[in-house]
Structure 1
Amino acid sequence: MLHYNKLGVPLCWLMAIGTPAVSAHPHSFIAMQTTLVHQEGQLSGLKMRWVMDEITSADLLYDAGKAQPDSVVWKKLAAEVMANVLVQHYFTEFWHQKQPVKFDKMPKQYGLSRQGNRAVLEFILPLAHPQPLKGQRYTFSTFDPTYFVDMTYDSEKDLTLPPELASQCRLQLQTPQPGASLKAYALALDKNDAPTDEMELGRQFAQQVTLVCR
C-alpha cells in the first residue's frame, strides 16, 4: 500500500512507481544538485538535478526500456513525473526577508534520463518574478513534508554558482541534527504509517541552503 497525499498523488514519486516493503522512513532517496540561474543581475530560477535511488528508479527505467533519450517514451515519462512534482510545489520553499518567494506554475525546461540504474530528473525551477541579488540574502529548502522521500545534498559541492556570480555571492548548506527521539520515531514508521501533518516530519530533517550576495 502506498502513501498518498491529499491530492491523491503517490508520495513515492511519482506516478505509479511501486516501492518494495521496507521497515522505516524514509522509503526513497533523492540525491540533489542545484545551480543558480540568473539574468541581468537578478536571480531567475534554480536549475535542479535529482538522482533517484535504484529502487525508486526501477519502474521508470522498466517503462523506458531501450528507448532513445530523445524519444516520445522518455518525454512522456518526464511529463508524468514533472506533473507530480508541480502538484507538490516543486517540493521546495524559497524565502526572502521572511517572506515566501513564488514560483512559476510551469518549468520552462525539464527532462528525464538514465544514469546507470538510476533515473535522473532535471529541470529549471522558475521564480515567478526575478529577484535582485546585490546585497540580498535568500534561503531555500527542498523536502517531502512526510519524509517518505529523503531529498538531500551530499555536500556544498552539489551547490553551484555560475562563474559570473562567484565573486559576488556564496552558498551555504546547513544540515539539521534531529534529536534521538525524532530519529527513533522516523525509524519506527513502516510503509503503511504516515506522520501527522502537524508534525511536519520532513521539514525537521530538511537541509537549508542560504544564498548571500554582496
Structure 2
Amino acid sequence: MKRPACCLSLLLSLTAGPALAHPHVFIDATPGFTVQDGQVTGLRIVWLYDAFSTLVMYDQLWLDEDGDGKLDATDMEKIAVGETTWEPGYEGDTYLWHDGQKVPMGQPQNGTARMEGDRAEVTFDLPLATPLPATGTFSLKLYDPLYYYSYAITAVLPDPETCTSALIPFEPTAADREVQAALSALSIEQMPDDPNIGARFADEVVLTCD
C-alpha cells in the first residue's frame, strides 16, 4: 500500500492548529543504480524521513508496544514492511526514463529499516520490470505528484562500474517560489490544481554508461 506513515487523518489529529499540506512530509533520499552484466537491473533507494513523520509511524505502525522508549528488531521490521508494501499501480514516487522513454518498475525488495537519531531510515531495492542495456542516458526523479511529500536527493550511491551518475539539484526560479508559497497555503484537505505539480520541483540523477 502507499506508505502509511503519514495517513492524512492521523496527521490532522497530531498537528496543532491549521495544517498546511504541501509539502508536509520531508524525505532526504539517496538513490543509486544497479548494473549487472552490461544491463541496468534496478535501483537502490534510501529514504530518511523527517522527525515528525517518524513520530507518526509510532502510532500508525504500533511501534514500541512495550513502552520502553526503544525500537527493537520487530519495530524495524514493521517500518520496513509498512513502507515498502505498495498498492498495485502505486509507483513509489520513483520515476525513471531511458533515452526519454519511461521505464516500468517492479515492486520493492530487500527492505530494511533503522533509526538515524530521531529519524527513521528505510532502504530497499527497486528492480526494473525488464533489465535494459547500460547504454544511452537514464534519468531518475523522486517526487510525489501532488507534492504532499517533498524529496531532496542529498547524495547518490557509488556508481557501478563503467557508469557515471550526476546529481542535478532543483534550482527554484522566482516563479517556482511563488507556486511553492501558494501550495504551502493550502489546507491539509486541499489538493493542487495540477495533479503532477511535484515533478516541477524534483531533483534529477542522470546516469551515463560507457
TM-score normalised according to structure 1 size: 0.79
Is 1:37 the counterpart of 2:34? The answer is yes
* Residue in structure 2 matched with residue 171 of structure 1 by the alignment: 166
Structure 2 gap ranges (5+): 65-69
**CA 1:17–1:49: 2 relative to 1, 3 Å:** farther
**CA 1:17–1:112: 2 relative to 1, 3 Å:** farther
* Residue in structure 2 matched with residue 99 of structure 1 by the alignment: 101
**Structure 2 CA distance for aligned equivalents of residues 17 and 84 of structure 1:** 19
Partner amino acid, structure 1, of 2:134: L
Partner amino acid, structure 1, of 2:63: A
C-alpha displacement of 1:15: 9.2
Kindly tell me the number of residue pairs found equivalent between the two proteins: 197
**Structure 1 CA distance for aligned equivalents of residues 88 and 123 of structure 2:** 13
Partner amino acid, structure 1, of 2:143: F
* Residue in structure 2 matched with residue 23 of structure 1 by the alignment: 20
**Structure 1 CA distance for aligned equivalents of residues 87 and 47 of structure 2:** 11
* Residue in structure 2 matched with residue 123 of structure 1 by the alignment: 124
2:47 is paired with a residue whose SS is strand
2:82 is paired with a residue whose SS is helix
Alpha carbons 1:48, 1:123 under 8 Å: kept: yes
* Residue in structure 2 matched with residue 207 of structure 1 by the alignment: 203
**CA 1:192–1:16: 2 relative to 1, 3 Å:** closer
Alpha carbons 2:3, 2:82 under 8 Å: kept: no
Paired residues for 1:73-84 under 5 Å = 73-84=75-86
Q: 1:16-62: per-residue Cα shift (whole Å, max 9, x none)?
A: 85352533521110000012212112111111110000000003246
* Residue in structure 1 matched with residue 112 of structure 2 by the alignment: 111
Partner amino acid, structure 2, of 1:143: Y
Is 1:64 the counterpart of 2:63? The answer is yes
Aligned-pair identity in percent equals 24
**Structure 2 CA distance for aligned equivalents of residues 110 and 10 of structure 1:** 13
**CA 1:17–1:151: 2 relative to 1, 3 Å:** farther
Is 1:151 the counterpart of 2:155? The answer is no
**CA 1:13–1:57: 2 relative to 1, 3 Å:** same
Partner amino acid, structure 2, of 1:81: E
**CA 1:202–1:209: 2 relative to 1, 3 Å:** same
**Structure 2 CA distance for aligned equivalents of residues 60 and 141 of structure 1:** 25
**CA 1:86–1:209: 2 relative to 1, 3 Å:** farther
1:164 is paired with a residue whose SS is coil
C-alpha displacement of 1:163: 5.5
Structure 1 gap ranges (5+): 1-6
**CA 1:91–1:14: 2 relative to 1, 3 Å:** farther
